[in-house]
Amino acid sequence: MNSLRNASLVLLFAIILSAPAFAAVSSADSEVAEEFTSYYDQLDANGKEIYDRLKDASADGAPITVNLPMEITVRSDVQEGAETTIRNMIRDTVDEAFIALRLSSPLSYWGWGASSINYIPDMVTQGNSVTVSSIYFEIDLEGYPKDPETGEFQGIQKMLDDLNEAIAGFSTASTSVRDKIMDINNYLTGLITYDPNLGTENESRYAHDAYGALVDPNHYAVCDGYSKAFLLLCQKEGIECVVVFGTGLPSFINHAWNYVKLDNGSWYAIDVTWNDSGGNAYFLIGGDAFFTTHQQGVFLEASLLPYKFNSPPISKTSYDSAPQDSYAEYAWLLAILLVAIILMALYKHSKGQS
């Protein structure tokens, strides 16, 4: 009877010891985010074609005609109704392609000034049916910077070369993903100045882009510029990163920030803009804290609208507040070891009873 009681105590003790190990395994699994499908992959075929053509456009600024892989046809009781509907469909497709471009490819100069892009769908009307199979895009280069000596447009290729040189100029000696991200964050908060002229006629032409943050002599930028510069430096270091548009709470200001993927498989939020004035309070933050001050969305023209893109689901808990030792990584080994101890105890007990 005593032997049985002792075996039961051994079993109970082993279960108590193994519980944290199994909990750690469960916790580790729950923190691994779902696989993120890129903004580009979330576009339809027409959106991807527009994205590709604008992203890969040559630096001469020449107009582009995009042939749509999926021809669009709308029929209505009246021709005017069909034209209105198809224009709205084209607008949504172009907007989504531009959003994906700006969120994913800061090196694409077409995304630097979306408000300077004009597009004209080639509409073919037959009765009350309207078809669009291509869209003509042109870019207004008037707002691009001029050479300080000649006053002439210095050329987009020069701008791209300068931006790539600025990206190459960043380096870090850190080896962990977390520390590399911190180095990027600190580099940008030390380099960039939040544009003091925002909303005035003196606002920096590239305050919303990585060019303004990394190249412009004043390094004036707003949240768009901070987040895109951060994305480019993360890409340089091989760190998975996305830009997210939305609002800052509680004031509901238009805002942009980043999500980054750490080597534990989870995504975390970082707001370099607010870190520039907040002492890195928004560094690798989890959703429980982050979404009290940030709301995902996108600002288009005169209104704040939700956008169709799914951003990576971020960890509930902040990275630096979670245990960073190897216990969770090897918890399954501890669990197996404890089960083996349990089985050995039971085996010895059964042998003792025989």
H helices of the chain, where? 2-31, 45-55, 79-104, 156-168, 177-191, 210-214, 223-236, 272-278, 287-290, 331-353
Q: What pLDDT is recorded for position 15?
A: 41
CB 182 within 8 A of CB 168: no
175 vs 206, higher pLDDT = 175
Question: Mean per-residue pLDDT for 156-161?
Answer: 88
Checking if the pLDDT of 300 tops 70, the result is no
Distances (CA, A) of 77 to 63, 81, 129, 264, 349: 35, 7, 9, 57, 86
pLDDT value at residue 149 = 72
* Mean pLDDT computed over every residue of the chain: 82
- The answer, yes or no, to whether residue 1 has pLDDT greater than 60, is no
Question: Which residues, at least 6 apart from 86, have a Cβ–Cβ distance to it below 8 Å?
Answer: 72, 74, 121, 123, 130, 132
More confident residue, 24 or 43: 43
CB 119 within 8 A of CB 50: no
Residue 346 has pLDDT above 80, yes or no: no
Q: What is the mean pLDDT of residues 245-265?
A: 89
In CATH, the number for domain 156-305 is 3.10.620
Give the C-alpha separation, 245 to 231, whole Å: 13
3-state secondary structure of 281: coil
Question: Could you state, in order of their start, the residue ranges of all structural domains in the chain?
Answer: 2-32+329-353, 40-139, 156-305
Q: What is the pLDDT of residue 148?
A: 65
Rounded CA separation 205/167 (Å): 20
SS3 per residue for 153-187: ECCHHHHHHHHHHHHHCCCCCCCCHHHHHHHHHHH
Model confidence over 64-84: pLDDT tens digits? 999 999 999 999 888 888 889
pLDDT of residue 45 exceeding 60, the answer is: yes
Q: How far apart are the first and last CA of the chain?
A: 13
pTM of the model: 0.78
- pLDDT cut 70: percent of the chain above it: 75
Q: Is the pLDDT of residue 151 over 80?
A: no
| pLDDT of 54 over the 90 cut | yes
